Amino acid sequence: MTQSHKGHDHVWADDLTRNQELVLGTLAHAHGPLSAYDILDRLRDDGLRAPLQIYRALDKLTERGLAHRLESLNAFVCCADAHCHQSGCIAFAICERCGKVEEFAEPAIESELKGWSKASGFVPSRMTVELRGLCAGCASQPA
């Protein structure tokens, strides 16, 4: 059951399990970040019932860089572009009005952080960079 379950939309990787594919598909269709429980609610019709089923899929997906966790939101997004998990450090700008999330990679930030790490002896395994504020659209809006 590994390949071609049906005519689903997009194929990110050919070796995803059913649950992983369902979760990633849900994230991909969402307009913004979703909590694990949001995802669960949208997948009840597909037979998923327990939070753990979602968390397990999310773990694998985030490990592989196909999804990202937004720490400051306790929520998840689908990775915006395929190259991202090659460039280690990804940053997010989260709009507090409309909820939209922009994913961007600033290599300069990553090298800054690497520089600090080297200087201090810290050995980083994961980096989280999140901005909260207003996106361009919302910032220019009246009230």
Partner DNA sequence: CCCGATATGTTATTTAGTTACATCCGCGCG
Partner DNA sequence: CGCGCGGATGTAACTAAATAACATATCGGG
Is the Cβ–Cβ distance between 16 and 3 less than 8 Å?
no
Neighbouring-strand partners of residue 40: none
Q: Which is nearer to DNA, 60 or 100 (CB)?
A: 60
Query: What is the Cα–Cα distance from 78 to 25, expressed in whole angstroms?
Result: 9
Positions in 82-121 near its own copies (CB under 8 A): 91, 93, 95-96, 102, 104, 106, 108-109, 112-113, 116-117, 120-121
Positions in 43-62 near its own copies (CB under 8 A): none
Place of tokens 């009246």: 142
Q: Which is nearer to its own copies, 59 or 71 (CB)?
A: 71
Is 71 annotated to bind a ligand? Reply is no
Q: Which is nearer to its own copies, 28 or 109 (CB)?
A: 109
Is the Cβ–Cβ distance between 127 and 88 less than 8 Å?
yes
Using CA atoms, how far residue 68 sits from 27, 94, 107, 138, in Å, is 10, 13, 18, 24
Chain contacts with DNA (rule: CB under 7 A): 1-2, 17-20, 35-38, 47-53, 55-57, 60, 74-75
For residue 34, the 8-state DSSP code is B
Q: Would you tell me which residues interact with its own copies (CB under 8 A)? A: 71-72, 91, 93, 95-96, 102, 104, 106, 108-109, 112-113, 116-117, 120-136, 139-140
